Chains A and B, each alone.
Chain A
């Protein structure tokens, strides 16, 4: 029998949660090590899965199917294709680095890791699940722990941010739920199975009606302009590792939802609405960059630049050419790694100085060269410097989108230049120049706490110089999609 590798990956955090429940109160180190152990196992199997994924054959692989609620024709059907495999790998990386970054959490440690792993389980489940109902359930499991994670362990304005985030995201899933019911009852096959639903197809009118629900519902989580405004507040309030997960993986879950349950399921609807979707996505790209440039709080800066970068992902998806889709999925991955690195570095400074204001720093490159290097690398990847992971992604998106939306692309491209401007400004005032007021308090740290940042920075370089590692998996998917 073949190894049920996807179920194992999904079970890692679930087993972690159950184990943590049994750890007696006060044994914080046991909690941390258990979390690290399960995330290592999950990461190991995710890498294995990614390597073993047959790039020639492509399509859905590692399929498992078990009955779940037979009365509703809903099954536990898991499999990954190019985009699923990429995102599972991303999630495993962010999980692993997030757990190490969370080592310094010392308040209600057990609950923190339980919620953290629960969230990750939800994300894994969403990426591998091919049953719409089960996907929806995992999707909610991925969103809800955020409320407590931000509210209890967060900082600036956390209660407001947590409530805003939860309400907006759940309003989004309300739209998806409406779509889910409509799909189930309209389809002649009465099933939740994604492949069956996709292959059966829907009438053009129905697609045009439901696609906006999916786009807006999932788009809220992907922070599509103008539904983005939960996201910067949420990033800022969340504890470091949660920001990493949130910007690194959760927002991708939104984009993934649009891709799989929007574009793949309703190709005609996506066609019809593409100009509107492209317009809002382009707005997000420009708006995010402009607002990011105004920020003095590092986390707000990254939060808004995430809006801009996720706008790029959605722009690529809306354009819908092979190249653009390729780029969008690539961008999901590289942006995930990049923001995780960003937030990890900012969290490192914040822990030591309790400020995130860029004017409190200066000359950090001398005090903490390792962290500074990582941060600068993420920053340069963000502005699309060739040789780093952001470049192939943004290049492919713009190249692919130009065919479809020449004008919008021409409007969106300068935002990159603008992005380079603000990024360099921040890098200069934080890492170089005269020492700021809080700089003396910062010290570089040991190998263990520094390891996640080194890993992430290494990946940014790896996927920058060897984009084929990733595009070999993604490209067949994009080709298949447009057939």
Chain B
């Protein structure tokens, strides 16, 4: 078991170590960062080593398969990238930074557990571990009242979503007598045992996932949380923490979808609502972090659309898009961090003339934004192609048509940012952006986004070799 759950144990170890190290307050800022980087790298190595692990633990409520292991590796890499890009912590008060490191890994552990959760109970526990860490992280920018406000908002919406979800679980338990995903799916398969409570139960459970993904109608926390939290935390929220939501939602959807066509329609409609709402509201934003919050609501919609695809195409599409979603958001938020000033969030206007201040960042931003909009030849296009075609094979042509139109709409506000960065004059007293470290990392990620668009085979073939459509089923 030790070997099978190596990434989780590594994360737990990192968490405890950071806790002890920072407790004494003897660690300098620099060494704390170094320790975070090293530990995150070790976790990633552990996740890589455990890539081929398979099995079912704790009376079948915790499942290790290529799907979960791949997501764990992706999360570990994302965590490591966050440790590189998500710096400096200047908007978090000094005495609280120690907690930041601890919560950083605690949230990571929650995410990893979610990727493997195979029973509603494990799901609930993992979800709360992640959520509580996030509530605290969001509220850490204590000198700003909005930070605390958004943290409370986040908490209240999160708690309601959990409550609704738990209520749904009670229906499912009532209908099937089990909390195990596999049992629920097999009960669904046999039409005789199928209870009328199942569909409402599943739809209610959906609410907790939608909350994690910041999808409609549980999205309302995201704009505030993104805007008023410290930018490294916002980056964490937008990049890795989403992976957990995607991983667990898709696992459930994939299991029950074949037997419940109505469920597919529900998810399709929610996906559509999410992307339309996110895209149209993003138009009017002045604050860049808010804009990206709405854009991520829309992105959650695209992902959900891909989930309702047919057969083999859906897992590949979702996993592929998860990878590039992580990459795109890392780039976008590292640019945001670059432009952030003490106690002040970047607005649209702070992107003005970015090109002349920092050509590399401007180019990275351009690539990431066009990729988010799904413009060829960047990876975002290929990702969207996989998602949309997966939904199209399942016969949801109208959803796909509307999603494509949505992508065109989204381009409009992404172009505004590009315009500011490339056309605008440099405003007075603008930040130059002098962080030396992440430059190379940003360049690498940008090249990766371009390369995966031109030559997606590398990733698609790897994902294909995981044989997800088979291995995901119990």
Contacts and interface: CB of A to CB of B under 8 A. Distances in A.
Given A69-B460, A163-B419, A178-B404, A140 B411 contact: no
A185 B411 contact: no
A417 B392 CA distance: 50
B162 to A, nearest CB: 38
B456 A69 contact: yes
Q: Which of A133, A148, A171, A174 has the most CB of B within 10 A?
A: A174
B399 to A, nearest CB: 11
B370 A174 contact: no
Contacts of A171: 408
A333 interface: no
Given A140-B375, A177-B404, A148 B460 contact: no
Contacts, number: 68
B13 interface: no
B423 A151 contact: yes
Interface in B399-419: 400-401, 404-405, 407-408, 411-412, 415, 418-419
Interface residues of A, number: 30
Interface in B136-166: none
Interface string B412-444: 100100110011000000000000000000000
A71 B404 contact: no
Given A71-B460, A159-B419, A171-B408, A185 B377 contact: no
A468 B198 CA distance: 74
A137 B460 contact: no
- The secondary-structure label for the interface of chain A is helix
B422 A152 contact: yes
B346 to A, nearest CB: 21
Contacts of B411: 166-167, 170
Given A170-B411, A174-B407, A140 B392 contact: no
Contacts of A113: none
A68 interface: yes
Given A148-B422, A167-B412, A181 B405 contact: no
A148 B422 CA distance: 8
A141 interface: yes
Contacts of B407: 174
Contacts of B408: 167, 170-171, 174
Contacts of B286: none
Contact of A182 (B377, B397, B412): B397
Given A69-B457, A141-B376, A159-B419, A184 B370 contact: no
B393 interface: yes
B400 A144 contact: no
A140 B377 contact: yes
Nearest to B386: A72
A141 B377 contact: yes
A68 B370 CA distance: 22
B381 interface: yes
Given A137-B381, A182-B397, A152 B423 contact: yes
Interface string B286-329: 00000000000000000000000000000000000000000000
Given A148-B422, A152-B422, A140 B415 contact: no
Contact of A147 (B388, B397, B405, B415): B415
B177 interface: no
Contact of A185 (B393, B401, B464): B393
B389 interface: yes
Contacts of A138: 377
Interface string B369-398: 010000111000100010011001100010
Contacts of B389: 181, 184-185
Interface string A154-183: 000001001100110011001001100110
Contacts of A144: 370, 375
Nearest to A168: B408
Contact of B422 (A141, A151, A170, A178): A151
Contacts of B385: 133
A139 B376 CA distance: 9
Contacts of A71: 457, 460-461, 464
A24 interface: no
Given A151-B419, A151-B423, A163-B419, A174 B460 contact: no
B376 A68 contact: no
A163 B419 CA distance: 9
A26 interface: no
Contact of B405 (A136, A152, A163, A174): A174
A446 interface: no
Contacts of B457: 68-71
A181 B392 contact: yes
Given A69-B457, A170-B408, A185-B393, A178 B401 contact: yes
A148 B375 CA distance: 15
A137 B454 CA distance: 9
A154 to B, nearest CB: 10
B415 A163 contact: yes
Given A71-B461, A137-B377, A140-B375, 7 more contacts: A68-B457, A71-B457, A144-B370, A144-B375, A174-B407, A174-B408, A184-B389
Interface of B: 370, 375-377, 381, 385, 388-389, 392-393, 397, 400-401, 404-405, 407-408, 411-412, 415, 418-419, 422-423, 456-457, 460-461, 464
21 contacts: A69-B456, A70-B457, A137-B381, A138-B377, A140-B375, A140-B376, A140-B377, A141-B376, A144-B370, A147-B418, A148-B418, A148-B422, A151-B422, A152-B422, A163-B415, A166-B415, A174-B407, A181-B397, A181-B400, A184-B389, A185-B393
